[in-house]
């Protein structure tokens, strides 16, 4: 029951921390979800409504939410998290290259979506004329399916190198004495270690927020991202996705100057529903083994809150709850119906030229879900995107809601990801440090090396 290091969470952050520590420490990795080959979703396999599995296999289990995600590795320091606030830019660039190579070693595809300076200048100029900012970064795309294979390869490697992995085990609390970590308390007793790395992922953001509060850790409130999943014919954006795969555009709305961005573009992909702690939200995937005739992506409005409200996660949950209450899950609406101020119905959806890939979504009215300023910002963003990809602002474009990204409030850590509790490290999306596969993986390496450096000093 005693270890050198305990890692809480089997997502990319926890996995990469374990890979770094495996040869130098006695490591236990605890994951509350199922093993990767036992993760299955009745909603996807039997095409039924969500049956509220606990825990949800789509967002929880070995590999984290990334196991069933689109599997994009964004090779840039500008997007995907806050690591550039903790380590130097040059060091982060080297680390991203190193982590990318590790993914390649475990089976990631060699193809890298990248463009030359002339193409970048062309796409950036078009974005500027549309009052958009293009956040370009090379992307390696694993795709849903291959992501699971890569993560299984990593698990096999860790087991071979002596890391103990316990799935289906929930950590209830972090144990500490005199501001020093001593271990964790689980549903199956206590495990002890002088070093604990907490990598709860987005699925564990609420638990980690409560844990950080109970430990007296200082936290910074992150903004909440609320918006829609957009679906349209693949041909509309092919001139962009064939080169960039994912076009990350940033926009500030004219009416409210709110920050709006595109996120998780899935060419040839499908819209999916996922369970976030009982709330059904929209997301998107591109599979490695099959493609559709559509492309989907998210448009998210980032919102910070000032006094006295300090809980943006609850605000996002409220929006999701409203959508679930009105639609029984995810709501879908034709853009033309939204513009005309009417709900979409089954009969109106039959006339839509864009065929929905999420067939279980309920036709409805998103104007009853989103605040006015969010809707205005989303519509302005669609109009701006229509200038770089004519056809985006079409009456046949589909909007699914709600899509909400629940990022935990960010706990204060040092350059090694160590908190004010000695020996306790916080990494990944669930700790509010990162918001994507690449930087989450990098944060695991940073924490592990911080532990090894302290051990050898």
From CA 334, how far away is CA 343, in angstroms rounded?
A: 8
Domain boundaries, the chain: 5-115+138-220+408-456, 224-405
Q: In the structure encoding, which two tokens stand for residue 172, read together?
A: 């209830």
- pLDDT of the chain along its 457 residues, tens only? 899 999 999 999 999 999 999 999 999 999 999 988 887 777 666 566 666 777 777 778 888 877 677 789 999 998 889 999 999 999 999 999 999 999 999 999 999 999 999 999 999 999 999 999 999 999 999 987 788 899 999 999 999 999 999 999 999 999 999 999 999 999 999 999 999 999 998 788 888 988 999 999 988 877 889 999 999 999 999 999 999 999 999 999 999 999 999 999 999 999 999 888 788 999 998 887 789 999 999 999 998 777 777 777 788 889 999 999 999 999 999 999 999 999 999 999 999 999 999 999 999 999 999 999 999 999 999 999 999 999 999 999 999 999 998 776 789 999 999 999 999 999 998 888 998 899 999 999 999 999 999 876 5
Q: Confirm if 234 and 267 have CB atoms less than 8 A apart.
A: yes
Dihedral angle over CA of 223, 225, 226, 229, nearest 10 = 180
The closest of 225, 219, 163 to 426, measured between CA atoms, is 219
Q: In the structure encoding, which two tokens stand for residue 183, read together?
A: 């271990």
Q: What φ, ψ does residue 233 adopt, rounded to 5°?
A: -60, 140
- Identify each DSSP E strand in 199-293 by its residue range: 219-220, 224-233, 249-252, 259-267, 270-276, 279-285
pTM (two decimals): 0.90
From CA 9, how far away is CA 197, in angstroms rounded?
A: 9
Which residue do the tokens 């002596």 mark?
162
Cα 178 versus chain centre, distance: 35
Helix, coil or strand: residue 424: strand
Q: Confirm if 120 and 244 have CB atoms less than 8 A apart.
A: no
The closest of 203, 275, 202 to 41, measured between CA atoms, is 275
Burial of 329: CB neighbours in 10 Å, binned 0-12, 13-18, 19+: buried
pLDDT in tens, 398-454: 999 999 987 767 899 999 999 999 999 999 988 889 988 999 999 999 999 999 998
pLDDT in tens, 286-312: 887 789 999 999 999 998 777 777 777
From CA 217, how far away is CA 411, in angstroms rounded?
A: 7
Q: Confirm if 77 and 92 have CB atoms less than 8 A apart.
A: yes
Other CB atoms closer than 10 Å to residue 393's CB: what's the count?
Answer: 18
Other CB atoms closer than 10 Å to residue 48's CB: what's the count?
Answer: 11
The closest of 208, 209, 191, 180 to 29, measured between CA atoms, is 191
Q: Confirm if 387 and 329 have CB atoms less than 8 A apart.
A: no
Burial of 347: CB neighbours in 10 Å, binned 0-12, 13-18, 19+: exposed
CB neighbour burial string for 258-279, b if at least 16 within 10 angstroms, e if fewer: bbbbbbbbbbbbbbbbbbbbeb
3-state SS, one letter per residue, for 101-165: HHHHHCCCCCCCECCCHHHHHHHHHHHHHCCCEECCCCEEECCECHHHHHHHHHHHHHHHCCCEE
In which region does residue 245 sit, left (phi positive, over 0), alpha (psi from -120 to 50) or beta (all else)? Answer: left
What is each CA distance from 97 to 90, 100, 103, 139, 155, in whole angstroms?
Answer: 11, 5, 10, 12, 21
**Cβ within 8 Å of residue 256, ≥6 positions away:** 373, 376, 377
What is each CA distance from 276 to 97, 139, 273, 313, in whole angstroms?
Answer: 31, 26, 10, 12
CATH 3.50.50.60 fits 5-115+138-220+408-456, yes or no: yes
The closest of 157, 148, 166, 149 to 22, measured between CA atoms, is 157
Size of the chain, expressed as the number of residues it contains:
457
What is each CA distance from 247 to 138, 278, 295, in whole angstroms?
Answer: 10, 31, 12
């Amino acid at each position: 029951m005693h270890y050198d290091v305990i890692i809480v969470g089997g997502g990319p952050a926890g996995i990469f921390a374990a890979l770094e520590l495996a040869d130098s420490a006695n490591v236990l990795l605890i994951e509350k979800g199922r093993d990767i080959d036992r993760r299955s979703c009745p909603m996807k396999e039997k095409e039924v409504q969500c049956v509220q599995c606990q825990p949800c296999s789509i967002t929880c289990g070995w590999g984290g939410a990334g196991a069933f995600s689109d599997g994009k590795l964004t090779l840039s320091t500008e997007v995907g998290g806050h690591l550039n606030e903790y380590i130097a830019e040059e060091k982060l660039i080297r680390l991203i290259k190193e982590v990318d190579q590790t993914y390649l070693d475990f089976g990631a595809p060699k193809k890298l979506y990248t463009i030359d300076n002339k193409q970048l200048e062309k796409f950036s100029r078009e974005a500027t004329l549309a009052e958009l900012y293009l956040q370009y970064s090379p992307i390696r795309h694993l795709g849903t399916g291959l992501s699971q294979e890569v993560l299984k390869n990593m698990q096999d490697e860790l087991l071979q190198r002596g890391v103990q992995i316990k799935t289906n085990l929930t950590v209830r609390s972090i144990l500490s004495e005199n501001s020093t970590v001593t271990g964790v308390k689980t549903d199956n007793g206590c495990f002890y270690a002088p070093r604990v790395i907490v990598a709860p992922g987005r699925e564990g953001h609420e638990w980690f927020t409560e844990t950080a509060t109970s430990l007296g850790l200082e936290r910074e409130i992150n903004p909440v991202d609320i918006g829609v999943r957009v679906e349209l014919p693949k041909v509309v954006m092919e001139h962009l996705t064939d080169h960039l795969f994912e076009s990350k555009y940033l926009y500030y709305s004219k009416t409210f100057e709110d920050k709006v961005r595109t996120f998780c573009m899935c060419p040839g992909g499908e819209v999916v529903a996922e369970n976030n702690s009982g709330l059904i939200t929209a997301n998107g995937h591109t599979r490695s083994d099959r493609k559709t005739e559509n492309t989907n992506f998210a448009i998210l409005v980032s919102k910070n809150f000032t006094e006295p409200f300090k809980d943006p996660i609850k605000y996002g949950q409220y929006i999701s709850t409203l959508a679930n209450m009105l639609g029984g899950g995810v709501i879908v609406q034709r853009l033309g119906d939204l513009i005309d101020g009417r709900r979409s119905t089954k009969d109106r959806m039959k006339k839509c030229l864009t065929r929905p890939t999420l067939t279980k979504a309920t036709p409805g009215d998103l104007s009853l879900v989103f605040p006015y300023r969010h809707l205005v910002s989303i519509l302005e963003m669609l109009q701006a995107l229509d200038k770089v990809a004519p056809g985006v602002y079409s009456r046949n474009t589909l909007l699914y809601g709600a899509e909400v990204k629940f990022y935990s409030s960010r706990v204060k850590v040092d350059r090694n990801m160590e908190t004010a509790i000695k020996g306790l490290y916080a990494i990944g999306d669930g700790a509010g440090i990162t918001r994507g596969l690449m930087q989450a993986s990098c944060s695991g390496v940073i924490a592990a090396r911080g532990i090894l450096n302290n051990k050898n000093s």
